[in-house]
């Protein structure tokens, strides 16, 4: 049983990293898109009302204002507060916010436990209610984050499940996976609660387990704690198979597309990527496409005229 | 109201999914309208064209004669969807498309942002997510490249047959691509892009699109010079005529410089302005002349037409028009192109075209609004705002504002020259489309479609206008909607006629430059022609 938990944990972490990397790499390998920005663009000077550099005469000759830091903060706030849902669909926000906070906190909980295990193993740090200041701090913060995650995640799962069942519009768009997600994640959060109540009110067993993960040594933990460890690993394996990639691709989409207002300088990497695009040979079948020619050739030839225009 | 399910799209192509009734439509303020019924297609048209979506035909899509023909069209559609997922065929929008296909949380938060959905009485098929979800299911269930591991589990099923394809074709012409839904989506899912991409599959793969956009639109523009069918000789005749007419009206001759090599600016208007709103290009000529701007118009193929309908349905046609316009600018040796009051020409030429151009083909392309602002505040022209002392409401063309971030220059001008300037609610980047976006303003393939764009897609804008003017409304009053975009003006012209807004409420419309010239001290007679706009 101890070995099973250890092996599935190793597998889960390798799997989640590999699959996300493959999925996100696909986006990095995509060709340079045409511009398709949508205002407000947060790095722009006039972002408060949605203004852009295109509001200026001869903008190409002037230095560009671009506050990337503001964009990053804006995105972080979006992730943490989900304010747009609060404004646009409040009934959904309550469940969704709890749910997402449950995810963020459970991953933070896992990271903290792992971090504490490292400190325990390497520096002999004690993490408990009676330890030194730092050890106590870690103990209590982990306790709060863990319990908050189990609570919020469970509440969110239940609220979203109920909303999908009783809101007839949302039910129409729901897929079987939506329901499986809510139930599976509810079980995961509840297993955390159960482990805390029955097996380990200090989460020390989790720390010991992670010392074992670091040292490749199986560690015995209580059954409910073991069950939560296995379910959490299964959650990590399942996660990349859901739409969760949007957590990462959304960042790329915001910077490359929605806020992607960088003008074409006519040189450098963008120029090279555009030239590469123009050399692709489309295979569309409509009459106004002539197969075999590149985009550049097609764009400079008007059907009916003999020679491409220079 | 019965719910329309996603899977209903594949059912029985003989039956319409929706029949819109005037009773479903939300009432308008100030007692406007009521009883806006959609004229049904004639029995002959019904036999000839597909109408199984909502009884309306935007595409005049011929009905297949037999099952073999249906199957062939379905196969062609699916091939097109496959191509949409490849970089060779769709490098232009592959990244945002894939993000949209992969990331929707199906929360439906975008629905309320859509004026078509809202003003149809919240009909399910007009939700921004409806067509997107159908396409997503097709990709995940039926394509090779995009197929999901367990599509029935992760995406839900959908049957792909002729009914699905025919309804999707029409459904791609029930969205104005205003992208308000995309703005509402936290994850960055862009359902308006799905409309765009669907239109591309139909045009680029199957040769199916609205005639006015393709044959009479981009094809005509590339071959004749303008989507209006105006050739070089006709254009030059119109310019002569306008110069003569304006001399009579203004008591002075305003020259519209033509094909002047080495000018600072090549000014390109939507050619529809010369035919339908000639005061607009003349107003530009007056302003530029008085401000001492070194500019030229062009009579070359591609030089006097700013429109680019390719933006709405076909990447290649889009690129061809861009190339033609840019070539004219290089041939004249101008320093930059300035786009007149046409929203989609702005977006097409300044933004979307940007990453089609390479090296020396790149030429600066700018909006007219910052330049007009610079002129108005330069002190070179004297204004008497009292000449514009009537309620003025600014409409924000989606392409200029939400999609380009050009928000304030036109407002600063209006605050300076129109003492009763006011805003709609919401406005700026949160504005509502006029209902004529993505080509609708030029499309009148059937009375049914015209009724639809008046009664539904333009309804929200009418509501906004009536609410914004409020107590000012009434017969004989003068309320001015400033619509600095040719397509929006086309839609306003039709909305005003359809709802009798001029006669009942004293609502008129025109562009920004007309108001600027109307406020000029040097122009003695009123420039704006109230009535019959």
CA–CA min distance B138, chain A (Å): 14
Q: Which residues pair with B479 in a beta bridge?
A: B507
Neighbouring C-beta atoms of residue A60, cutoff 10 Å: 15
- Taking the C-alpha atoms of residue B63 and residue B49, their distance in angstroms, rounded to an integer, is 5
Give yes or no for a contact between B20 and B416, defined as CB atoms under 8 angstroms apart. no
Residues sharing a CB contact under 8 Å with residue B72, sequence separation 6 or more, in sequence order? none
Cis status of the peptide bond prior to A75, with omega within 30 of 0: no
Residues sharing a CB contact under 8 Å with residue B76, sequence separation 6 or more, in sequence order? A285, B205, B206
pLDDT range class, residue A103, cuts 50, 70, 90:
very high
Give the model's pLDDT for residue B447.
93
Q: How are strands ordered across the β-sheet holding B336-339?
A: B295-296, B265-268, B336-339, B365-367
Q: Is B420 exposed, middle or buried (0-12, 13-18, 19+ CB in 10 A)?
A: middle
Give the model's pLDDT for residue B526.
92
* Domain ranges across chain B: 6-17+52-205, 210-381, 382-533
Residues sharing a CB contact under 8 Å with residue A144, sequence separation 6 or more, in sequence order? none
Give the model's pLDDT for residue B1.
66
- Taking the C-alpha atoms of residue A208 and residue A219, their distance in angstroms, rounded to an integer, is 7
Q: Which of B3, B6, B91 to mutate: most A Cβ within 10 Å?
A: B91
Give yes or no for a contact between B508 and B533, defined as CB atoms under 8 angstroms apart. yes
Q: HSE-up of B344 (CA within 13 Å, CB side)?
A: 28
- Does residue A79 sit at the B interface (CB-CB below 8 Å)? no
Q: Which of A60, A270, A300 sits opposite B364 (nearest CB)?
A: A60
Per-residue pLDDT of chain B (533 residues; tens, 9 = 90+): 678 999 999 998 788 999 999 999 999 999 999 889 999 999 999 999 999 999 999 999 999 999 999 999 999 999 999 999 999 999 999 999 999 999 999 999 999 999 999 999 999 999 999 999 999 999 999 999 999 999 999 999 999 999 999 999 999 999 999 999 999 998 999 999 999 999 999 999 999 999 999 999 999 999 999 999 999 999 999 999 999 998 988 888 999 999 999 999 999 999 999 999 999 999 999 999 999 999 999 999 999 999 999 999 999 999 999 999 999 999 999 999 999 999 999 999 999 999 999 988 999 999 999 999 999 999 999 999 999 999 999 999 999 999 999 999 999 999 999 999 999 999 999 999 999 999 999 999 999 999 999 999 999 999 999 999 999 999 999 999 999 999 999 999 999 999 999 999 999 999 999 999 999 999 988 999 887 54
Q: Is the pLDDT of residue A302 over 90?
A: no
DSSP B366: E
Q: Which of A78, A168, A177 sits opposite B154 (nearest CB)?
A: A177
Q: Which of A103, A183, A284, A303 to mutate: most B Cβ within 10 Å?
A: A284
Residues sharing a CB contact under 8 Å with residue A7, sequence separation 6 or more, in sequence order? none
Q: CB–CB of A34 and B371 under 8 A?
A: no
The highest-level CATH class for domain B6-17+52-205 is mainly alpha
How many Å from the N-terminal Cα to the C-terminal Cα in chain A? Answer: 73
DSSP B214: I
In tens, the pLDDT along A44-83 reads 999 999 999 999 999 999 999 999 999 999 999 988 888 8
Phi-psi region of B157 (alpha: psi -120 to 50; beta: other; left: phi over 0): beta
* Domain ranges across chain A: 87-241
Q: Which residues pair with B393 in a beta bridge?
A: B422, B481
- Beta B392-394 vs B479-482: how paired, if at all? parallel
Give the model's pLDDT for residue B533.
47
Q: CB–CB of A49 and B429 under 8 A?
A: yes
Q: Is the dihedral of CA B462, B466, B468, B472 positive or negative?
A: positive
- Does residue A267 sit at the B interface (CB-CB below 8 Å)? yes
Phi-psi region of B476 (alpha: psi -120 to 50; beta: other; left: phi over 0): left
Q: How are strands ordered across the β-sheet holding B392-394?
A: B421-422, B392-394, B479-482, B507-510
Neighbouring C-beta atoms of residue B327, cutoff 10 Å: 18
Give yes or no for a contact between A96 and A82, defined as CB atoms under 8 angstroms apart. yes
- Taking the C-alpha atoms of residue B124 and residue B116, their distance in angstroms, rounded to an integer, is 11
- Does residue A306 sit at the B interface (CB-CB below 8 Å)? no
Give the model's pLDDT for residue A310.
42
- Taking the C-alpha atoms of residue B506 and residue B531, their distance in angstroms, rounded to an integer, is 9
Diameter of chain A measured on Cα atoms? 87
Q: Is the dihedral of CA B373, B378, B380, B383 positive or negative?
A: positive
- Does residue B1 sit at the A interface (CB-CB below 8 Å)? no
Q: Which of B350, B358, B366 to mutate: most A Cβ within 10 Å?
A: B358
Task: Give the residue among B229, B368, B235, B228 at the shortest CA–CA distance from B304.
Answer: B235
Phi, psi of B235 (to 5 degrees): -60, -50
- Does residue A274 sit at the B interface (CB-CB below 8 Å)? yes
pLDDT range class, residue A308, cuts 50, 70, 90:
very low
Residues of B in contact with A278 (CB under 8 A): 356, 358
Give the model's pLDDT for residue A303.
80
- Does residue B524 sit at the A interface (CB-CB below 8 Å)? no
Q: CB–CB of A257 and B356 under 8 A?
A: no
Neighbouring C-beta atoms of residue B147, cutoff 10 Å: 12
Residues of B in contact with A26 (CB under 8 A): 98
Q: Is the pLDDT of residue A174 over 50?
A: yes
Size of interface A-B (CB pairs under 8 A): 274
Neighbouring C-beta atoms of residue B252, cutoff 10 Å: 11
pLDDT range class, residue A200, cuts 50, 70, 90:
very high
Residues of B in contact with A263 (CB under 8 A): 354
Q: Is B201 exposed, middle or buried (0-12, 13-18, 19+ CB in 10 A)?
A: buried
Q: Which of A160, A288, A304 to mutate: most B Cβ within 10 Å?
A: A288
- Taking the C-alpha atoms of residue A180 and residue A110, their distance in angstroms, rounded to an integer, is 23
By C-alpha distance, the chain B residue nearest A50 is B405
Give the model's pLDDT for residue A86.
87
- Taking the C-alpha atoms of residue B433 and residue B178, their distance in angstroms, rounded to an integer, is 6
Buried b (16+ CB within 10 A) or exposed e, B166-195: bbbbbbbbbbbbbbbbbbbbbbbbbbbbbb
For a pLDDT cut of 90, what percent of chain A falls above it?
A: 87
Q: CB–CB of A284 and B205 under 8 A?
A: yes
């Amino acid at each position: 049983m101890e070995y099973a938990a250890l092996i599935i944990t190793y597998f889960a972490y390798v799997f989640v990293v590999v699959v996300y990397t493959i999925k996100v790499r696909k986006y990095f390998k995509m060709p340079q898109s045409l511009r398709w920005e949508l205002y407000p663009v947060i790095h722009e000077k006039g972002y408060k009302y949605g203004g852009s550099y295109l509001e200026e005469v001869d903008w190409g000759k002037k230095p560009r204002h671009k506050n990337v830091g503001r964009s990053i903060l804006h995105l972080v706030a979006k992730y943490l507060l989900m304010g747009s849902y609060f404004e646009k669909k409040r009934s959904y926000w309550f469940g969704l916010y709890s749910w997402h906070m449950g995810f963020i906190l459970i991953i933070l909980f896992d990271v903290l436990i792992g971090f504490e295990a490292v400190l325990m193993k390497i520096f002999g740090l004690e993490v408990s209610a009676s330890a030194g200041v730092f050890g106590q701090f870690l103990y209590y913060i982990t306790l709060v984050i863990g319990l908050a995650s189990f609570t919020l995640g469970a509440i969110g799962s239940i609220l979203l499940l109920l909303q999908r069942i009783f809101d007839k519009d949302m039910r129409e768009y729901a897929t079987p996976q939506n329901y499986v997600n809510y139930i599976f994640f509810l079980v995961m959060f509840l297993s955390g609660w159960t482990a805390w109540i029955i097996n380990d009110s200090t989460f020390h067993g989790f720390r010991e387990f992670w010392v074992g993960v670091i040292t490749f040594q199986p560690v015995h933990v209580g059954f409910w704690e073991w069950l939560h460890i296995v379910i959490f690993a299964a959650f990590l394996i399942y996660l990349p198979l859901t739409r969760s990639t949007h957590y990462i691709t959304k960042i790329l989409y915001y910077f490359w597309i929605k806020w992607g207002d960088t003008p074409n300088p006519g040189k450098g990497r963008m120029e090279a990527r555009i030239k590469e695009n123009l050399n692709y040979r489309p295979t569309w079948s409509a009459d106004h496409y002539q197969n075999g020619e590149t985009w550049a050739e097609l764009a400079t030839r008007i059907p009916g005229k003999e020679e491409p225009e220079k | 109201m019965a719910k329309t399910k996603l899977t209903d799209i594949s059912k029985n192509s003989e039956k319409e999914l929706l029949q819109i009734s005037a009773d479903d439509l939300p009432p308008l303020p100030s007692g406007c309208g009521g009883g806006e019924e959609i004229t049904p297609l004639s029995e002959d048209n019904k036999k000839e064209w597909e109408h199984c979506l909502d009884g309306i035909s935007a595409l005049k899509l011929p009905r297949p004669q037999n099952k073999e023909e249906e199957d062939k069209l379905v196969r062609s559609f699916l091939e097109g969807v496959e191509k949409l997922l490849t970089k060779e065929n769709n490098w232009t929008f592959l990244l945002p498309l894939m993000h949209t296909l992969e990331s929707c949380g199906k929360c439906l938060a975008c629905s309320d942002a859509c004026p078509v959905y809202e003003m149809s009485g919240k009909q399910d098929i007009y939700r921004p997510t409806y067509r997107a979800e159908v396409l997503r299911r097709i990709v995940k269930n039926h394509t090779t490249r995009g197929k999901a591991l367990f599509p029935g589990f992760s995406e839900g099923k959908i049957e792909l047959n002729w009914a699905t394809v025919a309804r999707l074709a029409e459904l791609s012409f029930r969205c104005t691509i205003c992208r308000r839904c995309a703005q509402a989506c936290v994850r960055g899912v862009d359902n308006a892009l799905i409309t765009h991409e669907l239109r591309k599959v139909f045009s680029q793969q199957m040769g199916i699109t609205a005639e006015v956009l393709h044959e009479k639109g981009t094809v005509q523009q590339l071959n004749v010079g303008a989507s209006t069918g105006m050739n070089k000789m006709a254009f030059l005749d119109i310019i002569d005529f306008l110069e003569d007419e304006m001399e009579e009206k203004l008591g002075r001759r305003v020259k519209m410089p033509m094909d002047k090599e080495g000018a600072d600016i090549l000014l390109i208007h939507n050619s529809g302005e010369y035919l339908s709103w000639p005061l607009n290009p003349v107003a530009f000529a007056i302003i530029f002349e008085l401000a001492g701007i070194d500019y030229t118009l062009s009579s070359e193929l591609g030089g006097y037409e700013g429109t680019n309908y390719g933006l709405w349905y076909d990447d290649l046609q889009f690129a061809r028009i861009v190339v033609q316009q840019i070539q004219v600018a290089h041939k004249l040796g101008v320093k930059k192109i300035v786009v007149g009051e046409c929203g989609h020409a702005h977006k097409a030429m300044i933004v979307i075209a940007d990453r089609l151009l390479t090296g020396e083909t790149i030429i600066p392309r700018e909006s007219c609004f910052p330049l007009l602002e610079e002129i108005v505040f330069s002190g070179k022209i004297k204004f008497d705002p009292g000449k514009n002392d009537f309620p003025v409401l600014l409409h924000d063309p989606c392409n200029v504002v939400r999609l380009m971030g050009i928000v304030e220059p036109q407002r600063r001008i209006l605050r300076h020259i129109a003492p009763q300037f006011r805003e709609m609610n919401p406005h700026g980047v949160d504005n509502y489309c006029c209902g004529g976006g993505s080509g609708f303003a030029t499309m009148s393939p059937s009375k049914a479609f015209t009724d639809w764009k008046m009664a539904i897609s333009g309804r929200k804008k009418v509501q906004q206008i009536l609410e914004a003017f409020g107590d000012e409304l009434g017969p004989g009053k003068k309320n001015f909607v400033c619509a600095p975009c040719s397509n929006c003006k086309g839609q306003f012209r039709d909305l005003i006629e359809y709802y009798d807004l001029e006669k009942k409420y004293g609502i008129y419309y025109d562009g920004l430059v007309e108001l600027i010239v109307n406020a000029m001290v040097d122009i003695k007679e009123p420039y704006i022609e109230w009535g019959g706009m």
